Chain A
Amino acid sequence: MQWLDLTYLQAIILSVIVASTPLLLAASGELVVERAGVLNLGVEGMMIMGAVCAFAGAELTGSTLVGTAAGILAGVAMAAIFALLTLGLAVNQVATGLALTIFGLGLSGLIGAGFVGQRITPAPQLDLPVLTDLPFIGKILFGQDAFVYGSIVLVIGIWWFLYRTRPGLVLRAIGDNHGSAHALGYPVLSLRTGAVLFGGACAGLAGAYLSLAYTPFFIAGMTAGRGWIALALVVFASWRPARLVIGAYLFGGVTILQLHAQGAGLDIPPQLMTALPYLATIVVLVAISRTRGVAGSAAPASLGLAFVPDR
């Protein structure tokens, strides 16, 4: 029985962690954005721009750190365009998010054309003398790259910010009722801008992870819908950070499951297995929305609505 083999099980768990991390990174950022009442559908575009800029940075300087910084900056720059349009000019958020994705997919192809086919050294993994060598759990707990640990720290940080700090409370208030928050004197648009830029940084980081650690190379369209799945994960998590971790790892698991099932030579069309994460997203969206009832009471009440302050 191959499944009982510990090294095989360890390999599966390791690959699940790797597949889940980009989803978790991108979804954490979007969670903060949506808690502030903004729906940025451009995650896919910010992510792919993060991926290509991170790869370009790492390839040109030979440094993973510079690459990561470039990826984050690219995500922030993309988010800034979104913020200018939706917050500065009160443009429809759904349409702007779509534009951001189309733009990002195109521009990343343009930038990445010169980098396709090149390889870099992947991001280094933690290697502690005794701990990493522990049987089974050693490699899982103490042998990851910085992105994986970073994603967990990020979620804890977001939880602490949203539920344990005053700005976090204000941010949630703005997301639930921007009119009242504005009347109380809270800076709705400034805080939202901050949240959107933070979301861009997270999406850029997620993209950087894809091209610096996950693969490590760049091909056009390599995000393959992960940005959209991250958006669905936020709904799955009912806009709560802790549930986001469960959701991201569940989806990472589905991705890996289909890869292993294809490898095991089961008599199922490979296309059906590849479609599994997308189908799972739909099933999960339906199930989660259904239990909450129509209109989704867990969603921030002002989500996706433009805000133009009265003067």
Chain B
Amino acid sequence: MRLVLEPRAERSTAAAIASPLIAVGLTLLVMSILFGFLGKDPLNALAVYFLQPLTDSYSLQEMVVKATPLVMIGIGLALCYLANVWNIGAEGQFVIGAVAGSYLAVKTQGTDAGTWVLPAMLVLGALGGALYALIPAICRVRFGASEILVSLMLVYVADLVLDYLVRGPWRDPHGYNFPTTADFDPVATVPSIIEGSRLHIGALMALVVVAAAWTVLGRTIKGFEIRVVGAAPKAARFAGFDADRLVLFTFAVSGALAGLAGIIEVAGPVGHLQPGISPGYGFTAIIVAFLGRLNPIGILIAGLFLALTFIGGEQAQISLKVPLDLTKVFQGILLFFVLACDSLILYRVRLIRTRKAADAVA
């Protein structure tokens, strides 16, 4: 018995929208089985994970706060993946962006610097992320090295750079030897949207990024170029599109967005630089990009949904005593199903019982 794939003659829009929903449904099914194994009531556990956070205002705000980096990074990654360029080191670009932007915050600490500090920090963060992302891009176009492996290796390096800085030169002298910088000054902090709330203007910037990406992909030549190079490299060459330049472009943009997300995270919700500033945003954003079907609006929704899993996971850890790693398991299973369901849009799957003669070892 084996699986046989038959290409579908036409692709329906309905299937394209239904596929991520089916994937989410199947993932929830597997999760409830998993909860059963852990000795928890599946329905109650799912409610704690996915419904409870939606019922109080603090969790809802927190969801937006966590979705902000996911959406920003996810948009950048989608540009890469559409062009068939594999940046999987967004986690490292996020960290380096945070470090680059924090440089200003640390250096102007306690001085009477003006309101220019925060905008300059954001620019530095984006620049840092972009430059860091250009390393694997240049390694690929100049030397032919796999951008997948180089960008991933740089994640470990970025974490160590951050670790060095907050344990060494940038450590808060009054911080009781904890590996952290001092809390950023008010001029170096991302302001809240409403006084006293956790919601910060980073969330609005994420919306701007979504709108910009939607325009670029749907309305400009650059967006067309990205999609052609990804879907039909030969046709793109005939059209005169430069694939190498596009690798540099998509890496730089996705690195800049990851770096921006990084500096917003430390200058906003975290408030200072410390190790472990990201619970894996750079990797989760890969799932966000695919769950959103590499579409900016889809990514916005997928980002909110995956932010929900982070908060639900934390709440489930407290109230149900299930390990936090369950969230990663959930994210992994979700990506499996998303990818599998995407394949069902392209192919019709049939089970064939008899072995075909052609399949016997010649």
Contact = CB atoms under 8 A, between A and B. Distances in A.
Interface of B: 2-7, 86, 88, 135, 139, 143-146, 148-150, 152-154, 156-157, 160-161, 163-164, 167-168, 283, 286-287, 290, 323-333, 335-336, 339-340, 342-344, 346-347, 349, 358-362
A311 to B, nearest CB: 7
Contact of A92 (B157, B167, B339): B339
Nearest to A229: B153
A275 B7 contact: no
The 10 closest A-B pairs by CB, nearest first: A103-B332, A106-B328, A109-B325, A99-B335, A294-B144, A106-B329, A271-B164, A271-B160, A289-B144, A289-B145
B160 A99 contact: no
6 contacts: A45-B332, A91-B343, A235-B146, A275-B161, A285-B146, A289-B139
A178 B167 CA distance: 52
Contacts of A85: 336, 339-340, 343
A81 B156 CA distance: 27
A100 interface: yes
Contacts of A134: none
Interface in A254-311: 269, 271-272, 274-275, 278-279, 281-282, 285-286, 288-290, 292-296, 308, 311
A89 interface: yes
A81 B5 CA distance: 17
B340 A282 contact: no
A91 B340 contact: yes
A41 interface: yes
Nearest to B165: A271
Nearest to A231: B149
A102 B287 contact: yes
B149 A285 contact: yes
Nearest to B333: A103
A103 B286 CA distance: 13
Interface residues of A, number: 59
Given A271-B163, A281-B153, A289-B145, A106 B358 contact: no
A80 interface: no
SS of B interface (majority):
helix
A9 interface: no
B328 A102 contact: yes
A109 B149 CA distance: 24
Contact of B332 (A102, A269, A281): A102
B117 to A, nearest CB: 27
Interface in A218-277: 220, 224-225, 228, 231-232, 235, 269, 271-272, 274-275
Contacts of B283: 98, 102
A109 B332 contact: no
Contacts of B161: 271, 275
B323 A281 contact: no
A98 B146 CA distance: 15
Contacts of B324: 109
Contacts of B150: 282, 285-286
A282 B146 contact: no
A161 B154 CA distance: 35
Given A45-B332, A108-B325, A187-B358, 13 more contacts: A88-B3, A99-B335, A105-B325, A106-B332, A109-B323, A110-B329, A187-B359, A187-B361, A225-B152, A269-B164, A274-B160, A282-B150, A294-B144
Contacts of B3: 88-89
